[in-house]
Amino acid sequence: MADKGYLPKEKIKEFVEALGKDAAVYAPCLEGDTIIFRQYTADKEISLDRPANTPPKGAIYPQCETLLSFEFKKDAATPQKMDVELKANTDFPKAVVFGGRPCDAKGFTVIDRVFVNTDTADPYYKKRRENTTIITKCCNSPYAGCFCVGVGGGPASREGSDVVMTEVDGGYYLEAVTEKGKAVMSLSMIQDGSSYEAKAKQANEKATGAVRNPFPADARISPELFDSGDFWGRVVDKCVSCGACTFLCPTCYCFNITDEQAITTGERIRSWDSCMFQHFTLETSGHNPRPAKYKRFRNRVGHKFSYYPEKYDGAIACTGCGRCIRYCPVSVDISEIVGYLKDPKADPKQWAADKKDAKN
């Protein structure tokens, strides 16, 4: 099987429909003026024009999913006894994530370290991940808020992808990164791509040079920088704890587990949760280790730029996709905050004052 190819733009629909023959294809679909990852059906319009508003995270890690179902059962012979029957969900159909960006694909690798590469792997995520092929579109130019190169990624990064596509001459140059990706290259609408390789390389280099890097040295934050509650208080003063940053993040994976029951049957459901919510850590006794907004925000930044790197050989749990910056209703900018913490000349206590001066 070839590991390089070319797909003309007008064949995209045909390509996606061919992928969809034996798999659910998740693609960025235009809905009004937003682009959302949805399971593709013929009535939907795919848009690769800009990064989608949502990451494709939900294709492998659904926002809500059934972990197991239970049924209360009675045996006529022992009417005083109620038995319970449990059944784990094992339905993980083949899937394709089409048209995500390198930051989106890398997001899955961040979750993999936690959910797959552990002695207590999450079987739901793991099996879906194994059954999913990721076809990623490289970025031609950075989008507002993007900073992938600052966190070890790039607009043409292959990390987490099975196939990467680069826009060239009215179509896409395709390159298989994995064996799973090579299988895709055998589809009939894929043409010979060898003449586009040099052009694609050039386009990727140009795009890489254009992305801003807010942390030129290293994005990792040392724990000592976490002490100033005063600094964090000022930073998140305007945060409304809405959780949009976490729900739109390709790497955020915190979840809740709840039971739903109707008469004698029910389900145990896992849903995305957000560390920005006050009740996330609230204990029944009323005790809450992170009752204040700044403590929750500090933990979120800490998890991505300090705790996660501490645990996973320096890897940053942020892919620089910029969504939390673009869609924050009060414009909290994580790259600005981490950048400020990284600048040794910066006095965190002065942060809010400096910001005010800059705006005036």
Partner 1 sequence: MTGNENPYLPELVTVMKVIDETPNIKSFQVVFNDTEKMKNFKFEPGQVGQLSVFGVGESTFVINSPPTRMDYLQFSVMKAGEVTTALHGIYEGDVIGVRAPLGNWFPYQDMKGKNILFVGGGIGLAPLRTLILYMLDNRADYKDITIIYGSRTPPDLCYKDDLKEWEERSDVNLILTVDNEFPGWEKRTGFVPTVLKEEAPKSDNTIAITCGPPIMIKFVLQGLAELKFPEENIITTLEARMKCGIGLCGRCNLGHKYICKDGPVFSLKQLKELPSDE
Which one of residues 283, 313, 356, 357 is an interface residue with partner 1 (CB under 8 A)?
Answer: 283
Q: Is residue 268 a contact point for partner 1 (CB under 8 A)?
A: yes
Provide the phi-psi class of 40: left if phi over 0, else alpha when psi is between -120 and 50, else beta.
beta
d(CA 221, CA 201): 33
Residue 311's SS3 state is helix
Which one of residues 49, 75, 119, 357 is an interface residue with partner 1 (CB under 8 A)?
Answer: 119
Which one of residues 18, 67, 183, 315 is an interface residue with partner 1 (CB under 8 A)?
Answer: 67
Which one of residues 43, 91, 170, 285 is an interface residue with partner 1 (CB under 8 A)?
Answer: 285
The length of the chain in residues reads 360
Q: Is residue 255 a contact point for partner 1 (CB under 8 A)?
A: yes
Kindly state the number of chain residues that form the binding site for partner 1, as judged by CB under 8 A.
53
Which one of residues 15, 173, 231, 253 is an interface residue with partner 1 (CB under 8 A)?
Answer: 253
Q: Is residue 84 a contact point for partner 1 (CB under 8 A)?
A: yes
User: Do the strands 64-74 and 163-168 form a parallel or antiparallel pair, or are they unpaired?
Assistant: unpaired
Taking the mean position of all CA atoms in its chain, how far away is CA 343? 27
Which one of residues 34, 63, 118, 141 is an interface residue with partner 1 (CB under 8 A)?
Answer: 118
Q: State which of positions 174-203 bind partner 1 (CB under 8 A).
A: none
Which one of residues 80, 345, 356, 357 is an interface residue with partner 1 (CB under 8 A)?
Answer: 80
Which one of residues 259, 343, 347, 354 is an interface residue with partner 1 (CB under 8 A)?
Answer: 259
| Complex with partner 1: residue 121 or 346, whichever CB lies closer | 121
Q: Is residue 34 a contact point for partner 1 (CB under 8 A)?
A: no
d(CA 40, CA 45): 9
Q: How far is CA 295 from CA 247, 284, 335, 337, in A?
A: 19, 19, 18, 15
Which one of residues 86, 170, 313, 356 is an interface residue with partner 1 (CB under 8 A)?
Answer: 86
User: 133 exposed, middle or buried (CB, 10 Å; 0-12, 13-18, 19+)?
Assistant: buried
d(CA 105, CA 100): 7
Q: Is residue 223 a contact point for partner 1 (CB under 8 A)?
A: yes
d(CA 213, CA 219): 10
Q: Is residue 113 a contact point for partner 1 (CB under 8 A)?
A: no
Q: Is residue 282 a contact point for partner 1 (CB under 8 A)?
A: yes
Q: Is residue 240 a contact point for partner 1 (CB under 8 A)?
A: no
d(CA 96, CA 211): 28
Q: Is residue 303 a contact point for partner 1 (CB under 8 A)?
A: yes
d(CA 339, CA 175): 34
Pick the closest to residue 315 from 247, 223, 227, 218 (CA basis): 218
| Complex with partner 1: residue 23 or 68, whichever CB lies closer | 68
Q: Is residue 63 a contact point for partner 1 (CB under 8 A)?
A: no
Q: Are 224 and 156 in contact (CB under 8 A)?
A: no
What is the closest distance, in whole angstroms, from the C-beta atom of residue 104 to partner 1 in the complex? 20
Instruction: State the residues that interact with partner 1 by CB under 8 A.
Output: 67-68, 70, 72, 80-84, 86, 88, 114-115, 118-123, 223, 226, 253-261, 266, 268, 270, 273, 275, 280-285, 287, 289-290, 295, 299, 302-303, 306-308, 310-311
